[in-house]
Structure 1
Amino acid sequence: MTTDAIQHADDRNVRSARRRRLQRQLPNTDIFAIGDVHGCLELQKKLEQLILEESNDVSRNKLILYLGDLVDRGPDSKGVIDHCLSPLPEGCERLSLCGNHDQLFFEFLLAPSLSAAWLDFGGQETLMSYGVDINQLIAGRANDEDLALALSEAIPGEHVRFLEALPVALTVPEAYFVHAGMRIGVPMEDQEDHDLMWIREDFLVDEAASDRLVVHGHSPAPTPRMGPGRIGIHTKAVGGGPLTALHLNGETTRFFSVAAE
Structure 2
Amino acid sequence: MRIYAVGDVHGHLDKLAAAHQRIAADRERVGDTGAPVVHIGDLVDRGPDSRGVIEHLIRGQEAGENWVVLKGNHDRMFELFLADPDNHDPGLRAHLHWVSPNLGGAATLASYGVEAAGERTLFDIHETTHAAVPERHAAFLRDLPIYWVADGVVFVHAGIRPGVPLAEQAEDDLLWIRDEFLNDTRDHGALIVHGHTPIEAVTHYGNRVNIDTGAGYGRALSAVVIEDGRAWLLAGEGRLEIPPLR
Q: TM-score, normalised by structure 1?
A: 0.80
The amino acid across from 2:99 in the alignment is: L
Helix, strand or coil for the counterpart of 1:33? strand
Between the aligned partners of 1:36 and 1:244, the Cα distance in structure 2 is: 8
Q: Percent identity?
A: 36
Helix, strand or coil for the counterpart of 1:81? helix
Q: Which runs of 5+ in 2 are unaligned?
A: 88-94, 237-246
Q: 1:182-197 residue pairs with structure 2 within 5 A?
A: 182-197=160-175
The amino acid across from 1:244 in the alignment is: S
- Kept after mapping to 2: 8 A contact 1:243/1:257: no
Q: Which of 12, 24, 38 does residue 40 from structure 1 map onto?
A: 12
Q: 1:1-261 residue pairs with structure 2 within 5 A?
A: 30-56=2-28, 57-59=30-32, 61-87=34-60, 92-112=65-85, 117-120=97-100, 121-135=103-117, 138=120, 144=123, 146-208=124-186, 210-257=188-235
Between the aligned partners of 1:91 and 1:169, the Cα distance in structure 2 is: 20
Q: CA RMSD in A?
A: 2.4
Aligned length: 226
Between the aligned partners of 2:63 and 2:132, the Cα distance in structure 1 is: 32
Q: Which runs of 5+ in 1 are unaligned?
A: 1-28
Between the aligned partners of 1:119 and 1:257, the Cα distance in structure 2 is: 34
Change (3 A) 1:179 1:209: farther
- Kept after mapping to 1: 8 A contact 2:204/2:231: no
- Kept after mapping to 2: 8 A contact 1:60/1:91: no
- Kept after mapping to 2: 8 A contact 1:108/1:116: no
CA drift of 1:43 comes to 0.4
Q: TM-score, normalised by structure 2?
A: 0.84
Between the aligned partners of 1:130 and 1:87, the Cα distance in structure 2 is: 20
The amino acid across from 1:238 in the alignment is: G
Between the aligned partners of 2:129 and 2:59, the Cα distance in structure 1 is: 22
